[in-house]
Amino acid sequence: MQSDNPIGIREREILTAIVETFIATGEPVGSRTLARSNREGLSPASIRNVMADLSDAGFLEQPHTSAGRVPTTEAYRYYVEQLTGKATLSGEDENMIQNSLQGIADVQEFMERTSHVLSLISGNVGVAIATSGQKNALEHVYFSRLGDQKVLAVVVTRSGVVRDRVLRLDLSQADLDAAASFINGNFRGWTMEAMRGELARRIEQERNEYDRLMRSVEQLYRQGALAGDDSTQVVFVEGAASLVASEEDRQRLQQLLQMLEEKKKIVELLGAYLDAKQEAVRVVIGLDEAQPSMRNLVLIGAPARMGGNVMGSLAVLGPTRMDYQHTITAVSYIARLFDKVLNDAGE
């Protein structure tokens, strides 16, 4: 994702310094603080002018009457875009991860330990989901009108599992056929969790642009036509208490903690943002599209693969003020380690 507000080299360097200083201290950053560490020897007055331009561009804001500035969501997004991805973990972190995951031969055990390790390393919430991978991937769906306000929904997975349920819906057979064609054409081969997460995202995003087809798909989705077997995924969450110490909005935190307790919502959240086809770690800043209570939170996650098949996903949830480089590197390292650890265990 490229920023809509390209800025010059000097502005980029000062913005980077502000973001990194604020992440380290949690205090609004002033021009005098930056002047002391500026390699170009810029005066506080020159830096104030640059900060004013960055504020006008939407990268900085001034809290209350403080003389300093803090980064906006757009600033964090720009900062993440500039990261090179060449950073490496410290030897201490590598040893801790490897020792924690040593001797594991089971996907669920790997994910359980991973959520704990990610929480320790990042100081935020570690999330890991173990799924049955391609065994739970969609082969096709079929919908049939049984009579007034009754629809038979049949879901077939690639492992041959057939799930059927009768729904109370008043849709014509033509609408049902169109909905099945849309789902089969767009989501064949997707895991059920990822498909439901993506559908939820599209329904919310395109709410004002529905045509007849999408209204039918929404009704089927809301009534549980695509519900899967909850036993196909196991969710591990560690470190939720760390957010209480780092945020002031207690009411919003209570909503978030309630959401974290609902495993289904976590599956939908990661399914909406983590594409099984992606190779790199994904960083999503501002999760209010998926959950209003997560407006000021960041998701840093990646799929976990073994032998080319997606067996789960792992992520860190935390406030916008977090050590992005460190967390991205840790998530990437563990995602790569997943295949190696479990393949070695199987030999």
The CATH classification of domain 134-222, taken from the options 3.30.390, 1.10.287, 1.10.3470, 3.40.50: 3.30.390
Sort strands 150-157 and 162-167 into parallel, antiparallel or unpaired.
antiparallel
How many C-beta atoms lie closer than 10 Å to residue 88's C-beta?
Answer: 9
Q: Is this prediction's pTM over 0.75?
A: no
Mean pLDDT, range 305-318, rounded to an integer: 83
Strands 150-157 and 60-61 come out as unpaired
The CATH H-level superfamily of 91-133+232-346 is: GAF domain (3.30.450.40)
41-77 pLDDT per residue, tens? 788 899 999 999 999 999 999 887 667 899 999 999 9
CATH no. for 9-82? 1.10.10.10
What integer pLDDT is reported at residue 282 of this predicted model? Answer: 92
CA distance 269 to 233: 14
Residue 241 pLDDT exceeds 60: yes
pLDDT at residue 78 greater than cutoff 90 = yes
Let me know: does 14 contact 29? Beta carbons within 8 Å. no
**Region(s) of the chain under CATH 3.30.450.40:** 91-133+232-346
Question: For the segment 202-222, what is each residue's pLDDT rounded down to a tens digit?
Answer: 877 766 556 777 788 888 877
Report pLDDT for 249.
55
In the chain, which residues fall in CATH 1.10.10.10? 9-82
- The stretch 192-196 carries a mean pLDDT of 77
Question: Distance between CA atoms of 12 and 17, rounded to whole angstroms?
Answer: 9
Quick: pLDDT tens for 138-152: 888 999 998 888 889
CATH 3.30.390 occupies which residues in the chain? 134-222
pLDDT of 279 > 90? The answer is no
